[in-house]
Amino acid sequence: MKTVKTISVDDLLWQTATKMISDFQTYVSDVKLQDLACICIRQDVAALRTFDWPTVSDPYLFKVWAQMEGLFKRHRFAKDLYADDQLKCEAWSKFVAIQDELRVLDFESKMEDPVFAVLIGYAKTFIRRTLGAYHVEEHVASCKFGKRASYGIPSKLACEAERWVAPFSGTETQFAWFVENVFSTDLRQAEYYLSQCTKDGTIPLYNAPEALNFTLVPKSFKAFRSIIPNTTLGSYMTHGLGRMIERRLRRKGYDIKTLQHEHRDLAMLGSIHGTLCTMDLSSASDRLSVDLVRALLPEEWFSALMQARVPGIKYKEDLLPNPSTFCTMGVGFTFPLQTLCFLSLIHAVSRYRYHEGFDIYRGVISVYGDDMIFDSIMYKSVMLFLHQCGLVVNVDKTFATGGFRESCGGDYYCGLDVRPYQPKYGASEVQRKETFEAILYKTINGLLCRWSCYELPGTLAYLSQRLREVVLSPKIVPHDFPDDAGIQSVDPRSMPIPWHGCVKWPKSIGHGLFRISYLRMKSTLRKENRHEPYYWLSISGIPDERADDPLIGAPMDRRGRLSTVLEAALCAAAAPKHGLRTVRVRTPGSSKIAPQMETVTTVGRTGFHMRKNGQVSFTSPRPAQSSLLWSLRL
């Protein structure tokens, strides 16, 4: 593995920001841009984090300031204003404070208010008509083990086979449900699992945790996001319940797989006409209380969801035995459940305040997680009702007036897309050339997706100079490749950035195909000898957990990616022979040499960038509109 001296990512970000300010000053005139440039030249982290970002009315200048603020939002410097331990303690203290707030929220006394009781009744009616009856057969058919870490299984060991290692982590209720609905229908799985427990008699049937672990991951420079991995059996059950809720929301016209795109379109329309409000909640999953879910859901659904919960959360030495939060990030049904609950609350307000007597509101109401869009005239009523339910509106990300709207990764100001490029490098310094090369590709592609090459000539020239320090020739890849694979281009013979030096252009091999060189994130693989769990997953009809692995780049070969013995047997003839060991297969009357196929699995979400070659075709996507031209039109 080739290594070089440590390369500072912090310095790359400071220099990029300085060049961008210089480019922007060609088109706009703002004194505060020069103040920000001085901060970037001094590389003053404290001054940057306390900088007063201005609010402007000009659409183009609005996008410029949004880009400069977003450039530093997610990156954490080596010596940032807030230490990791400080942010983690603040996140835990905030979660404990939310539990105290929900605990004193007397839901029964609130139901004595006739208006509140009617609104809850409308919301409950909406959910009952959406969910229908709960069927345990559908629940079992929709279940599968999660892809990420669970209680007792760290992220580096998370795979399908590891889920079947005894003992299961789960409560007594969860294990009884699993035995009744899974082991009773498939004796092979029961025998495989129970044989581990009876081998030496020291392994228990299941491991019931006292509480789940409160883990934290970086969200921005000033906050950490909490994730609470469920038990192994709990993740199995919650995945099925989440899919059931998603299926019913889709029948109602709210397809979670496509709602993000619809929300962006609605946010753009709202920024133009001002008739739509975009609302975001603060700590939405943490504030969804047990009392609220009990009041909204039918009894059979509430009981099924309660079975998958573990009543306890711990962080280091602190323990919360009975948290008021119903579900958190890391639970399989959290996102679809909060989508359903928040959707019902808004429908209840619209029915009571503006369309009394109608079961269906024909205006715009859409919810994706905690991102909500509805008519602006309902803003105050919705905000009041959500507050009564123990939910808190994030006023910094909620917009009912003015020309700005934000939802599901789409930021629009007067119809102009002002979504900034927000790098999240994950480290303040790197050592491998390939890693730094991938960071440069990410930065170049991210900026070119939001700005034209004519708006950032100095910035692109600087990034081109840094790229020449680690590679002789840049890699040209199609637009459908990952951002870190190379410089994305429509034409295999065009370079979207200034480059003074040799270029290894994609070589045409006929029939519209080109041979290219690109970077690929190579997943760390581990040999797997436990074949049965992957075989069961294959014949169950549920996609393999690695089918959507973002670490796997395109194009990819099939070597080492086979998950089952059955698939290995079927695909042995098509597998590449280079580098594979061979075995002699003896059959009656003949003896043949066949490639030996190995079952492997990825080690968590770890890996490293490496150079690869492949054959691709270049397609022409819809051309991006220059933001400068948009501003001139407006």
In a domain, 213, yes or no: no
Q: State the burial class of residue 201 (Cβ atoms within 10 Å of its Cβ: 0-12, 13-18, 19+).
A: exposed
In a domain, 610, yes or no: yes
Same domain as 519, residue 502: no
Give me the pLDDT at residue 245, please: 96
DSSP state, 366? E
In a domain, 549, yes or no: yes
Same domain as 520, residue 502: no
Same domain as 523, residue 502: no
Of residues 307 and 553, the one with the higher pLDDT is: 307
Whether 564 has a pLDDT exceeding 70, the answer reads no
pLDDT tens digits for 163-200? 999 999 999 999 999 999 999 888 889 999 998 888 77
The boundaries of the domain holding residue 28 are 7-75+423-506
Same domain as 572, residue 519: yes
Same domain as 521, residue 587: yes
Residue where one domain finishes, among candidates 447, 481, 506 = 506
Cα 270 from Cα 259, distance rounded (Å): 16
In a domain, 373, yes or no: no
**146 band by pLDDT with thresholds 50, 70 and 90:** confident
CB 383 within 8 A of CB 292: no
Q: Please report, for residues 92, 110, 230, 312, 541, the alpha-carbon distance to residue 213 in angstroms, rounded to integers and kept in the order given.
A: 12, 33, 9, 9, 32
Same domain as 612, residue 520: yes
**148 band by pLDDT with thresholds 50, 70 and 90:** confident
Find, among 568, 549, 584, the residue nearest to 160 by Cα.
549
Find, among 566, 545, 544, 568, the residue nearest to 558 by Cα.
568
Lowest mean per-residue pLDDT among 196-200, 222-226, 256-260, 444-448? 196-200
29: tokens are 């005139």
**630 band by pLDDT with thresholds 50, 70 and 90:** very low
**Mean predicted confidence (pLDDT) in 122-134:** 95
Residue where one domain finishes, among candidates 472, 506, 540 = 506
- For residues 236-263, b (16+ Cβ closer than 10 Å) or e, as one string? bbbbbbbbbbbebbeeeebebeebeebb
Same domain as 522, residue 605: yes
Label each residue of 302-356 as H, E or C. Answer: HHHHHHCCCCCEEECCEEECCCCECCCCCCCCHHHHHHHHHHHHHHHHHHHHCCC
Same domain as 612, residue 536: yes
In a domain, 329, yes or no: no
pLDDT tens digits for 153-165? 888 888 888 999 9
Kindly tell me the sign of the dihedral angle through the C-alpha atoms of 281, 282, 286, 289: negative
Mean pLDDT, the chain, as a whole number? 84
**510 band by pLDDT with thresholds 50, 70 and 90:** confident
Same domain as 527, residue 446: no
State the total domains in the chain: 2
Same domain as 493, residue 435: yes
With a pLDDT cut of 70, the percent of the chain lying above it is: 86
In a domain, 441, yes or no: yes
Kindly tell me the sign of the dihedral angle through the C-alpha atoms of 87, 426, 543, 131: positive
Whether 355 has a pLDDT exceeding 80, the answer reads no
Of residues 602 and 85, the one with the higher pLDDT is: 85
Residue where one domain finishes, among candidates 506, 541, 569 = 506
Of residues 630 and 446, the one with the higher pLDDT is: 446
In a domain, 394, yes or no: no
In a domain, 55, yes or no: yes
Same domain as 430, residue 490: yes
**289 band by pLDDT with thresholds 50, 70 and 90:** very high
- Whole-model pTM: value is 0.85
pLDDT tens digits for 583-623? 555 556 566 665 655 667 777 667 788 888 989 988 755 44
Same domain as 500, residue 542: no
Cα 116 from Cα 296, distance rounded (Å): 13
Whether 563 has a pLDDT exceeding 50, the answer reads no
Of residues 483 and 2, the one with the higher pLDDT is: 483
Lowest mean per-residue pLDDT among 7-21, 336-350, 443-457, 597-611? 597-611
